[in-house]
Structure 1
Amino acid sequence: MDPFKKCSRDDVKELMEEYIQTLSSPIDSFLENHILKSEFNQMYNGSTIIGYFAIHDEEKMTQFYIRQSYLHLAQDRFKQVLECYSVRSLFVPTSDELFLSLAADQDYKIEKQAYFFQDSKQQGVPESLYPGGEFRLARSEDIPEIIAVSGDFFQQVEELVEKEELFTFMKEDTLLGIGVWEHSKLLTGYASIGMFTKEGYRQQGVGQTIIHHLKQWCYEHNMIPICGCWYYNTNSKKTLERAGMVTKTRLLNFVR
């Protein structure tokens, strides 16, 4: 019997739930969206399903999971998948010990992709919050200005406003920044949050203030806020840290 079989995400739902329990910290929407857009495959040992893997755009592996009782097969199966599916790169969160270890076994170039953040539950740096301003859900009449300020930073602004996933931060009649949240489709009770600050108002506490309000909003709606930023975006990292977010997890890109 073929050890690998293409399947739907629903076919590996139980395995994915097991996988999520193995993570030492959560993943944000950037990686999650890559996973959700991947093609899934079951792994077999004889007629028994022992795990699964996912490949994005026919070249990037985004998940690899084998059940505990079959971990002794992990290295061989991983190498088989790399060769059989012509995998060219691996998106690996450092919170996934198995995937990280298997990737480290390969002689691949490692690129630092992103930081993943969690809330420290500390106050952050309150004195650097932006004074005044109004934080509220975005309305349909805000859409033209949101697009004018943020360009193509947000995809499908109209849909995000309709789904109540965008916020505005205003002072008088000036849009200073935009906040966004996205309900996790893989992690129950989590929401990825993010922000965009209008040029000319950056490094003044606007981004920190938006994240501060987004965190409060998440907790009020029984969700745990998480977020991420590109590894080399130093200003975003500092903004998130001033808002009380901390990072112990990286997203790495292993390239053949």
Structure 2
Amino acid sequence: MIEFKAVSLASLLNLRNQYLDSLRYPQELHCEWLVAKGGCFCIEQDGRVVGYFIRSEEGDLIEFYLPDKLFSRKEEIFGRVLEEFQIKSAFCKSFDDLFMACCHAFGQSSKIGGYLFRFFTEEIVMSLPEEVTVRKAKEIDIPLLLTHDSDLYESPEELNYTVSHRMILMYEKDGVLLGCGYLIRVLPDKEIFDVGMWVNPAFRRQGYATLIISHLKETCLKAGYTPIAGCAADNIASRRTLEKCGFMTKHCAIVFEF
């Protein structure tokens, strides 16, 4: 008999590690942040935990995992999850095979929500000029960063978190902020870092986006880290910048409607 129970994210650690290890390519940072705020549920068979699923704060299904021995029942179990938890949509990485198969089986429509960059060339297309300095953002910088447009952060709380954990680099010239770079470890036990950038509106269309991504990529490669990236489907400028810097995408995040 299959049952579902609400649990903590910590209690799913072993199962989540199995899930993450089963993915052909590294986890997406955006998904990790959705998971951190989401609701977690274990899937039990005859009293034993055999799988799990997670839905976001907004109610989107963002992870669904079953062991190989239950693959033949995946549609049955997935359908029950959708019905019993009134789930209307899902956010799925295209390389998450089990989740994708189930979403296709029940989805009424789908669209690309974002592009996932998991491949890159070793080439560094732009080196950091001497007049541009780089430093980690500190708490004292938050008031300045909050004066800029929201492309820099989704919420003040997110900005506080990334700054306090030294995940934002500030690129300056003559004491003026050109832009920021994001260098964020996706999972605590893996040396895989998500890279991203924001350019001060006063300095856009001057090549600084390419400069920042190039520098972040070079920083990762020199440290022996693997850089990955992602961007929203409608963010054409970010996609072009990533591709100019040698990042390549074969995969995407797909939004399914049920």
TM-score by length of 1: 0.89
* Equivalent in the alignment of 1:31: 31
* Equivalent in the alignment of 1:134: 133
Letter in 1 for 2:33: N
Unpaired runs of 5+ in structure 2?
none
**SS of the counterpart of 1:123?**
coil
Show the 5 A alignment for 1:56-75: 56-57=56-57, 59-75=59-75
* Equivalent in the alignment of 2:104: 104
**Cα distance, 1:241 vs structure 2:** 1.1
Offset from partner CA, 1:43-94 (integer Å, 9 cap, x none): 1222332211111236211111100122111111011111011111111100
Offset from partner CA, 1:14-33 (integer Å, 9 cap, x none): 11111112212123221211
Shift in alpha-carbon separation, 1:158–1:46, aligned structure 2, 3 A: closer
* Equivalent in the alignment of 2:216: 214
Please give the alpha-carbon distance, in whole angstroms, between the structure 1 residues aligned to 2:226 and 2:179: 22
Please give the alpha-carbon distance, in whole angstroms, between the structure 1 residues aligned to 2:224 and 2:119: 14
Show the 5 A alignment for 1:142-153: 142-151=141-150, 153=152
Unpaired runs of 5+ in structure 1?
none
| Kept in 1: contact 2:179–2:200 (CA 8 A) | yes
Deviates more, 1:14-23 or 1:115-124: 115-124
Please give the alpha-carbon distance, in whole angstroms, between the structure 2 residues aligned to 1:219 and 1:30: 22
* Equivalent in the alignment of 1:252: 254
Please give the alpha-carbon distance, in whole angstroms, between the structure 1 residues aligned to 2:234 and 2:109: 17
Q: CA RMSD in A?
A: 2.4
TM-score by length of 2: 0.88
Structure 2 residue 4 is the aligned partner of structure 1 residue 4: yes
Please give the alpha-carbon distance, in whole angstroms, between the structure 2 residues aligned to 1:7 and 1:140: 34
**Cα distance, 1:143 vs structure 2:** 3.6
| Kept in 1: contact 2:171–2:177 (CA 8 A) | yes
Shift in alpha-carbon separation, 1:22–1:58, aligned structure 2, 3 A: same
**SS of the counterpart of 2:201?**
coil
Offset from partner CA, 1:183-234 (integer Å, 9 cap, x none): 2236622222211011132232211111111223334444322121111111
The aligned length equals: 255
**SS of the counterpart of 2:152?**
coil
**Cα distance, 1:119 vs structure 2:** 4.5
